[in-house]
Structure 1
């Protein structure tokens, strides 16, 4: 078993413990946390609690994370675009429309299914449904993901994400013409209180920082490069909406009248990290997907 500890800060006071732990550890779903609590793997100040326990300031939480169960997600042959691979890590260019990992009741057609067919050695830290997955991008976001092929590599890559030493640059087309050339958005993100399927800027959210610069301006849109300092769920989509420039084609956070593309015009273009074994810095770049490239061509021609 792996032992994990947290201390509750003031932003999480009053939150249910299952929600608080799911916010503290992005790789854990709320249902996974609830299962840990029900199986008595969670102690608060040395005592067992129920899932509806409300957190207090400075609560010390100890979690024993069980070893992953034998994998029951089936490998599926897919034509994955592997950008880089060695004995420890691989980098894949995910297409639009592909879910990264299975969820309960949805265990086929995901990137994980394809990765399992491509290579048999993936880290087991995230358990049954998410072997090797260190970070995620949304179903309809395209681009680069790093995958760990063993637990040592997984731990190293996760630590780099937490230490904010990785490079993650996205290219996006947003609504409106952004007047300034570059800026930083520093606004906390949490679950939308009115719509649990969305994220939003909330006072008690987790810190979220996005740096962006304008690459090109058009009549009603702007081509932007966003660099993540943190990696919150839907971060770029929420932050760009927050400053009044939602991502084009975004069905969740954007306007109905938008550019014609099957999902948000958002692409994880550059990914860099230190190799977990050698320490050498590696950086990879993926060109825009065809549909986003076509949109950009149209905007340039119509300018």
Structure 2
């Protein structure tokens, strides 16, 4: 019986095997029928997308997660448009939704794409619907889906603020701000332990030696990554932490905090720092406890400074309240 989520990064020797066969290797004590039930109950994901097909063939580096409960799939209606003009759109992304499709996902059937909408597709559809509802296009005409341009990304399981460009000029201007690290990006996260206020700087590589991204000691290899960490609240065994990005590498905050021994609650992927003991996550987080709470940039066309803030979504807010209550109760018991 699986008590905690299990994360499997497919090694070279398992390439071409079915997802069911890889699951059997990862959980040898569980029967074939039980493993098939997990697929049927939407408790297995491959690279973040729910997998129901036991015959799906895996590739090297694929991330397979066996969840303890069915994966809740975000819908297009879960996306919020917070600001829009002819050049850009700022949105609130729900957890569980990819920013844009991986190359292998672009050939999915329309039915599967509908089950797993990308943020890019969802926002384009919402904008097209708005144009019809506002009378900009005839109601009986087919709405033209606008072209959106990705200028930065959020991990699939991270919620929060993101900006997409709607014109080539805005795309160029926004990418320049992210490249020069002048855009303001602040994340809130709930982690194990009590991180110090510090700036973490390292070079990140795609494979630290076990198929996962991580830091490396060689300064000539990898991409420079800088995260400014500031504790906000002591939650007993956990902490609410603010992380300000100077750079924006893939999984940067999760890697930096995990390597310091402060796993982001609900993070299955980085529970085991390289060549170190696995961190036991008993937080019971509803999902990855990471949220893009603040976003600021200069409008690439008007020059206006834009600042956006988004509170924790309901699932993380409830989780935070639970940890506060738990910490208070434990403190009272010790008195």
Alignment TM-score > 0.5, same fold = yes
1:16 match: none
Could you list the per-position Cα deviations for residues 245-266 of structure 1 after superposition, in whole angstroms to 9, with x for gaps in the alignment? 1111101012342322343100
2:133 match: none
Counterpart-to-counterpart distance in 2, 1:192 and 1:267 = 25
Count of residues paired in the alignment = 217
1:159 match: 176
Mark the CA change 1:77 to 1:296 in structure 2 (over 3 Å): closer, same or farther: closer
**Which of the residues 292, 296, 299 maps onto 2:320?**
296
1:190 and 2:198 matched: no
Counterpart-to-counterpart distance in 2, 1:184 and 1:164 = 15
1:168 and 2:185 matched: yes
Q: Equivalences for 1:1-303 in 2 at 5 Å?
A: 78-107=77-106, 108=113, 109-119=117-127, 120-122=145-147, 131-178=148-195, 180=196, 182-196=197-211, 198-202=212-216, 203=218, 204-254=221-271, 255-303=279-327
1:54 match: none
1:121 Cα deviation from its structure 2 partner: 3.2
Mark the CA change 1:230 to 1:98 in structure 2 (over 3 Å): closer, same or farther: same
Counterpart-to-counterpart distance in 2, 1:249 and 1:210 = 20
Counterpart-to-counterpart distance in 1, 2:291 and 2:173 = 25
CA contact (8 A) 1:249 1:265 kept: yes
After superposition, the CA RMSD in angstroms is: 1.6
With the length of structure 2 as denominator, give the TM-score of the two structures: 0.62
CA contact (8 A) 1:121 1:150 kept: no
Counterpart-to-counterpart distance in 2, 1:147 and 1:136 = 9
Counterpart-to-counterpart distance in 2, 1:186 and 1:141 = 22
1:79 Cα deviation from its structure 2 partner: 4.7
With the length of structure 1 as denominator, give the TM-score of the two structures: 0.68
Mark the CA change 1:77 to 1:253 in structure 2 (over 3 Å): closer, same or farther: closer
Q: Which of 1 and 2 has greater Rg?
A: 2
Alignment gaps of 5+ in structure 2: 1-74, 107-112, 128-144, 272-278, 328-335
Could you list the per-position Cα deviations for residues 38-89 of structure 1 after superposition, in whole angstroms to 9, with x for gaps in the alignment? xxxxxxxxxxxxxxxxxxxxxxxxxxxxxxxxxxxxxx96452011111111
Could you list the per-position Cα deviations for residues 85-122 of structure 1 after superposition, in whole angstroms to 9, with x for gaps in the alignment? 11111111000111111123424211111122123333
1:195 Cα deviation from its structure 2 partner: 3.1
CA contact (8 A) 2:199 2:229 kept: yes
Specify the SS of the correspondent of 2:103.
coil
1:213 Cα deviation from its structure 2 partner: 0.6
Counterpart-to-counterpart distance in 1, 2:251 and 2:264 = 11
Deviates more, 1:243-252 or 1:260-269: 260-269
Mark the CA change 1:280 to 1:200 in structure 2 (over 3 Å): closer, same or farther: same
CA contact (8 A) 2:286 2:316 kept: no
Give the number of the structure whose residues are more often helix, by fraction.
Answer: 2
Counterpart-to-counterpart distance in 1, 2:101 and 2:86 = 24
Could you list the per-position Cα deviations for residues 184-235 of structure 1 after superposition, in whole angstroms to 9, with x for gaps in the alignment? 0011111124233x21001212111000111001221111000000000000
CA contact (8 A) 2:194 2:231 kept: no
Deviates more, 1:198-207 or 1:134-143: 198-207
